[in-house]
Amino acid sequence: MKVLHTSDWHIGRSLYGRKRYEEFESFLDWLADEIERQEVNALIVAGDIFDTSAPSNRAQELYYRFLYKVAGSQCRHVVVVAGNHDSPSFLNAPKELLKALDVHVIGDGASEPEEEVLVLRDANSEAELIVCAVPYLRDRDIRTAEAGESVEDKDQKLIEGIKAHYRSVGQIALDKRSEAGKDVPIVGTGHLFAAGGKTIDGDGVRELYVGSLAHVGANIFPECFDYLALGHLHVPQLVGGSEVMRYSGSPLPMGFGEASQQKTICIVEFEGKEVNVVTTDIPEFQRLERIKGDWTAISSRIKELAVLDSNAWVEIIYDGGEVIGDLREQIDSATQETSIEVLRVKNNRIVDRILGQVHEEETLDDLNVNDVFERCLAAHSVPHDQREELVRAYQETLSAIYEEDVNAE
């Protein structure tokens, strides 16, 4: 039994205003071919299929066309779970139709955990894989708010709620394996932030829950899982050093901070009780490059890319000692006769030396939502001893906004 684990496609995401549909299409075409080439039996997508809860028509077209293509291959099963960027109701809407193609969609944490435990069968109707298809668990799915709760109480209830949910699906999976009468592999999924996980600045990974305990430990997952397919973090990595607990990472770099990172998919092969996991490198469909340094270093690298006839999308961060007021004009001149596309220029020297951290040169592209709120607190001279509680209330509000399913009736 061979399983392919991927996650965090974020179809529809743009980069500093640049649409990326051609990249997504190239990746999905490559993935469908790879499923054929590696003779994959089951595909698991561990959340964040789309970048927003209301994906564009083109994003939807790419998604459904890919599922149709995979359904016509030797891959017998597809399991898709929602991430924190996805709309549960949007993903769930065609689930009954998709079942006809052996595509199983779990959009939200089910009130009955048994609905998340899928017994996947071979051509002879024999159980060949059990998947605990746990999606992103929203706050309301796993805890009940009570008046007068402390921050610590909320944190603890979140962790206990996540743990209890996994314990329930794990026990159901064991029961179903017992019913099957043979040692069927059990795969768990999740879309969350495991303790010790690595992120990169600008990758767009959101904090999922408000509170210091939101990064769950590896011990929260049932021991019955033969493999754990996780999503949410964009850097491919192991959890707790375990070869069978992994983030596949995003297939495309979500920002320039990931430009030099090799993207991968995970191939999990079950042979009796043996589990073998290997990673396959994903090709680069659009080169991204971050150029950082003084003007000599920047102009030199632009010339090198021009000689290579590169069509790279570039972010330039100037941090030289000399103040260059017309940096953008010089960059435009240097790239004028090339295929290089400069998507962002950040002149740190102007900001640091001339404006003295007043931030006039910053745009919203330079800041995340927490940075903006911190700027507001500073602008209104809010005392530091009051900021912690205000920041927490702000983060709780953001969390509620992110978790609202705009497509639900």
CA nearest neighbour of 193 among 268, 84, 277, 282: 84
Q: Are 6 and 45 in contact (CB under 8 A)?
A: yes
The pLDDT of residue 18: 93
What is the secondary structure of 9-38 as a DSSP string? --BT--BTTB--HHHHHHHHHHHHHHHHHT
Which residue has 């979500």 as its token pair?
Answer: 254
Q: What pLDDT is stored for residue 301 in this prediction?
A: 96
Neighbours of 59 (CB within 10 A): 21
Geometric angle at alpha carbon 237, from 277 and 287, rounded to 5°:
105
For strands 42-46 and 274-281, give the pairing: unpaired
Question: What's residue 309's pLDDT?
Answer: 94
Cα(350)–Cα(359) distance, rounded to whole angstroms? 10
Beta bridge partners of 127: 121
- Cβ-contact 212, 155 below 8 angstroms: yes
Looking at residue 367, what is its pLDDT? 63
pLDDT digits (tens, 9 = 90+) for 56-92: 999 999 999 999 999 999 999 999 999 999 999 999 9
Give pLDDT, residue 403. Answer: 61
Collect the ranges in the chain with pLDDT lower than 70.
Answer: 110, 143-151, 201-215, 349-368, 389, 392, 395-396, 398-409
| Domains delineated in the chain | 2-281 (3.60.21.10), 289-403 (3.30.160.720)
**The predicted structure's pLDDT at residue 408:** 59
* Identity of the amino acid at 107: G
Q: How far apart are CA 272 and CA 349, in angstroms?
A: 60
Sequence-separated contacts (24+) of 156-164 with Cβ below 8 Å: 156/213, 158/209, 158/211, 158/213, 158/214, 159/213, 159/216, 159/220, 161/137, 162/137, 162/192, 162/216, 162/220, 163/216, 163/220
Return d(Cα 167, Cα 224) in angstroms, integer: 10
* Among 351, 394, 348, residue whose Cα is nearest residue 371: 394
What is the rounded end-to-end Cα distance, in angstroms, of the chain? 40
Cα 296 from Cα 171, distance rounded (Å): 62
Helix, strand or coil for residue 192?
coil
Dihedrals φ, ψ of 85, to 5°? -85, -15
Predicted TM-score (pTM) of this structure? 0.84
Per-residue pLDDT, 194:
85
pLDDT, one tens digit per residue, over 142-192 is 766 666 666 677 777 888 889 999 999 999 999 999 999 899 999 999 999
- Contact assessment for residue 203 and residue 254, using Cβ atoms and an 8 Å cutoff: yes
Predicted local confidence at residue 384, as pLDDT:
75
Query: Residue 201's pLDDT is what?
Result: 66
